[in-house]
Structure 1
């Protein structure tokens, strides 16, 4: 594979850092959700209760904002997971390909020489006969 130089230990190191960042992001998202609930609850109202819960225009706006951003937050989490899983799979396939190519090269090297390979022994590159000793 020309042009590729993947070090599995390097990939693992980076994925470890991404995992730590994803954990932090998860905590931030949880805090964001809690903050949205608190904001909606404590903004105050200028209208009467609706279904037993005080509702005001700012509370409705906060709830709408939380609802509108929920898809983006889920997408971000899913994209992070998919990217990490894909990186692991790609690296595994790369390493597996290297192992398979090495095994194939060993199998080829262990085979008996072909008639063409035998005939090529002692010939100079370009097809001319080699020097004979004696």
Structure 2
């Protein structure tokens, strides 16, 4: 990186707005995670009411499959967002301190792929 020309106060304003948006996304994700299981259960079953405990029906199974995939994606987005916001803030702090090398390092580290550990996954 040969030169930087940023306005830290403007970076702070953008980071604040992005953090507010990320918080809204997080609340929406938590709401879906909370209500999706009951939606799957209410979707019906593939056996009648006189057959004992019924397995999940096709809609419930599809919702469960969606939730499994969606959960991993949501965790990825959350970690990527946090890394980006924290990296931009750290790079800006280093810029203000006059340490452009550490600012560039902070910016570079924020670009690393986040590691997602889903519950129940085995070691690979």
TM-score scaled by length of structure 2: 0.68
The structure-2 alpha-carbon separation of the partners of 1:4 and 1:94, relative to structure 1 and needing over 3 Å to count, comes to: same
Q: For residue 121 of structure 1, what is the aligned residue in structure 2?
A: none
Which consecutive residues of structure 1, in runs of 5 or more, have no partner in the other structure? 99-134
Matches of 1:77 and 1:58, distance apart in 2 = 27
Matches of 1:10 and 1:95, distance apart in 2 = 13
Q: For residue 47 of structure 1, what is the aligned residue in structure 2?
A: 47
Matches of 2:54 and 2:38, distance apart in 1 = 14
Misfit runs of 4+, over 2 Å: 1-4
TM-score scaled by length of structure 1: 0.64
CA RMSD of aligned residues (A): 2.3
CA contact 1:48–1:55 (8 Å) conserved in 2: no
Which consecutive residues of structure 2, in runs of 5 or more, have no partner in the other structure? 100-124
Pair member with larger Rg: 1
How many residues matched? 97
1:35 CA drift (Å) = 3.2
> Aligned pair 1:95/2:88, yes or no?
no
